[in-house]
Amino acid sequence: MSGGKADFRYLIDSYLEWAAGQHIPVVDGLAVDLNSVETAPWPRLGGGCRGAFLHLRGRGDFLALQLIEIPPGAHMDWARHLYDEVFFVLRGRGSTSIELSEGETRGFEWGPRALFSPPLNARFRLANGGSEPARLICGNNLPFLMNVFRNEGFLFDHPYGFPERLGRPASFAGEGDFRPVAPGRHIWETSHIPDLGAFALPEWEARGAGYRNINVILSDSSMHAHVSEMPGGTYTKGRRHDAGVHVMAISGAGYTLVWKEGEAFERLELRLGSIFALTEDTLHQHFNPGSQPLRYLALSIGSDRYPMLARKLKRKQVFDTSLKDGGLQIDYADQDPLIHALWRDEIAATGAASRMENDFEART
């Protein structure tokens, strides 16, 4: 009878075990500069493509990030898998081919700041048509599924198709459908946004002065993405954060203050190439002390159509409601006075005009 220590398995994270077996770099920490992350050849992708895992401190239980680099003129092998994923193009240009059926494919080209998602378990391939390496960040829910099924062959080689996920052909060309709900809850439904930096965003004044936002559903998946923008010289209201939300800048530059109840503020940079994921119940606040708009992307599990988790559903109903009214947000009038004092120092250093003084004039 077997029962020795050699074959005893206990408290196993099957996703982390699988990731270690890929033999590519694993980067951790609260925040990371994506421009400086080193990659290594990843045979699973084929074509000489390289990769790295980003296992940030606040990644939670459901979401993982992979950094993928495709050499000039190269392409990945054809792939398919039973998990949802979203790609954001950090730099480079290329194309995506998606197999609809035997002998029929659908394709589109992408460049910097593009956001797209292949439909669930559809065969697809990424190619680099440029003269420079293409670098993309991929957010996916593989950790959850790998920990449930613990079988690489099942997740990567299952033949079942999901034709209902293919959507309209025009969605891969960059078209989409606006689904009005309410400020902060409006949805854009598509499979591909060619340039997140140029995408029009509706207003959401409840989050802060001049704030804009859209939630994105890509290929009808359970992955959530939202794009937000702050005008120059403004900052958002503070809010309690959930684990598993990965935030990265698209354009502009600023910073984020993060803290736990009763603890000191920690500053994280919010600029092109930076990414962070905050731990459970961390409070955070975004600041744009420059003169140009600051736009950023957030990826997480649980879309506005398919929240998946009871806590996600509850959060989405109260995330712009004040903490004192049972919500997640700190009104300007209730924030720590040190926050605005730090802001005044920052705005003085940049020379930009602050648009926040009317909100604090009476108190300062």
Percent of the chain with pLDDT over 90: 89
Q: Are 304 and 320 in contact (CB under 8 A)?
A: no
Would you state the pLDDT for residue 316?
87
349: amino acid identity, one letter: A
Supply angle C-alpha 228, 234, 239, rounded to 5: 60
pLDDT per residue as tens digits for the range 131-148: 999 999 999 999 999 999
Task: Categorize the per-residue pLDDT at 5 as very low, low, confident or very high, splitting at 50, 70 and 90.
Answer: low
99: amino acid identity, one letter: E
Closest CA to 135 of 91, 97, 74, 96: 91
Distance between CA atoms of residues 353 and 210, nearest Å: 14
| Mean pLDDT, residues 22-50 taken together | 97
Q: Are 223 and 189 in contact (CB under 8 A)?
A: no
Would you state the pLDDT for residue 358?
78
Q: Are 59 and 101 in contact (CB under 8 A)?
A: no
Task: Categorize the per-residue pLDDT at 300 as very low, low, confident or very high, splitting at 50, 70 and 90.
Answer: very high
pLDDT value at 2 more than 80: no
Neighbours of 317 (CB within 10 A): 13
| Mean pLDDT, residues 113-137 taken together | 97
Task: Categorize the per-residue pLDDT at 6 as very low, low, confident or very high, splitting at 50, 70 and 90.
Answer: low
Q: pTM of this prediction?
A: 0.95
Task: Categorize the per-residue pLDDT at 361 as very low, low, confident or very high, splitting at 50, 70 and 90.
Answer: low
CA 243, 236, 328, 187 torsion-angle sign: negative
Residue with tokens 């959530």: 224
Helix, strand, coil percentages for the chain (3-state, nearest 5): 20, 35, 45
* 3-state secondary structure labels for all residues of 184-238: CCCEEEECEECCHHHCCCCECHHHECCCEEEEEEECCCCEEEEEEEECCCEEECE
Would you state the pLDDT for residue 100?
85
Would you state the pLDDT for residue 174?
95
Of 20-29, 99-108, 251-260, 353-362, the poorest mean pLDDT is in: 353-362
pLDDT value at 293 more than 90: yes
Percent of the chain with pLDDT over 70: 97
Backbone angles phi, psi at 84, to 5 degrees: -80, 145
Distance between CA atoms of residues 10 and 233, nearest Å: 52
Q: Tell me the two tokens of residue 31.
A: 């925040």
Q: Tell me the two tokens of residue 191.
A: 């499979």
Task: Categorize the per-residue pLDDT at 117 as very low, low, confident or very high, splitting at 50, 70 and 90.
Answer: very high
Q: Are 215 and 188 in contact (CB under 8 A)?
A: yes
Q: How far is CA 357 from CA 46, 156, 237, 347, in A?
A: 54, 54, 14, 11
Would you state the pLDDT for residue 147?
97
Q: Tell me the two tokens of residue 55.
A: 């296992």
Task: Categorize the per-residue pLDDT at 242 as very low, low, confident or very high, splitting at 50, 70 and 90.
Answer: confident
Would you state the pLDDT for residue 38?
97
| Mean pLDDT, residues 115-142 taken together | 97
pLDDT per residue as tens digits for the range 156-207: 999 999 999 988 889 999 999 999 999 999 999 999 999 999 999 999 999 9
pLDDT per residue as tens digits for the range 39-84: 999 999 999 999 999 999 999 999 999 999 999 999 999 999 999 9
Q: Which residues pair with 134 in a beta bridge?
A: 70
Would you state the pLDDT for residue 219?
96
Q: Are 164 and 193 in contact (CB under 8 A)?
A: no
Average pLDDT, the chain: 94
Region of 246 (left: φ > 0; alpha: ψ -120 to 50; beta: rest) is beta
Task: Categorize the per-residue pLDDT at 103 as very low, low, confident or very high, splitting at 50, 70 and 90.
Answer: confident
Would you state the pLDDT for residue 339?
96
